[in-house]
Amino acid sequence: MLVLCGMAGVRAQTTAHSREELLAAAREIMQTARYCALITTDARGRSTARTMDAFEPEAKMVVWLATNRRSRKVSELRRNPRVTLYYFDREDQAYVTIYGVARLVNDPKEKASHWKTEWAAFYPDRNRDYLLIQVRPEKLEVVNTKKGITGDSQAWQPPTVTFKHPR
């Protein structure tokens, strides 16, 4: 079936894709895009978005990010840990949206394993200022028009993967 996709009027062939294919496509987009938008909710219930330099997703699509403990996103996450991560690859007309739950992590071992040397200027006192955000996905949406990964043309729903994490 040929459908008209909402991204720049590109026509793409719609076929069913396996969970593994969708996750592989999502990883590729996330790596290509490098930066993502982290979307949280402020005290008034408004969405706030900021550009983040995320680590590549782990095996179960868990994403790690870093922040300064004094940033407003920390207070927003303490109030409401539900977040959205959004990655966009303009070249391939592709995107990934992850809906998940964030957790603030101040463990020294985790902080040491999730560090980028180019961040040193942002965290002069790394032990005090540097804080991690771990995002565990609940649902992932992925579209890549060049690879034929498009959504339902009637309902405009993108291909979706749901996650079940043990508590």
What angle (nearest 5°) sits at the alpha carbon of residue 80, between those of residues 110 and 156?
100
Q: Domains in the chain, please, with CATH? A: 2-162 (2.30.110.10)
Sign of CA dihedral 109, 111, 115, 120: negative
Encode 84-126 in three state secondary structure.
EEEEEECCCCEEEEEEEEEEEECCHHHHHHCCCHHHCCCCCCH
Tell me if 33 sits within 8 A of 88, measured CB to CB: yes
Query: What are the structure tokens assigned to 5, written together?
Result: 């996709």
Q: What are the CA-CA distances from residue 36 to residues 32, 58, 84, 161 (Å)?
A: 11, 16, 10, 19
Element (H, E) at 77: helix 72-79
pLDDT (tens place) for every residue of the chain, 167 residues total: 333 344 443 333 446 899 999 999 999 999 999 899 999 999 999 999 999 999 999 999 999 999 999 999 999 999 999 999 999 999 999 999 999 999 999 999 999 999 999 999 989 898 899 999 999 999 999 999 999 999 888 888 999 999 986 65
pLDDT of res. 167 = 59
Spell out the residues 6+ positions from residue 107 whose beta carbon is closer than 8 angstroms to its own.
132
pLDDT of res. 151 = 84
Which phi and psi angles does 88 have, rounded to 5°? -135, 130
Strand segments, DSSP code E, in the chain are 2-4, 11-13, 35-41, 47-53, 63-68, 82-89, 94-105, 130-144, 160-162
Closest CA to 163 of 143, 141, 134: 141
pLDDT of res. 34 = 86
Question: What's 57's DSSP letter?
Answer: P
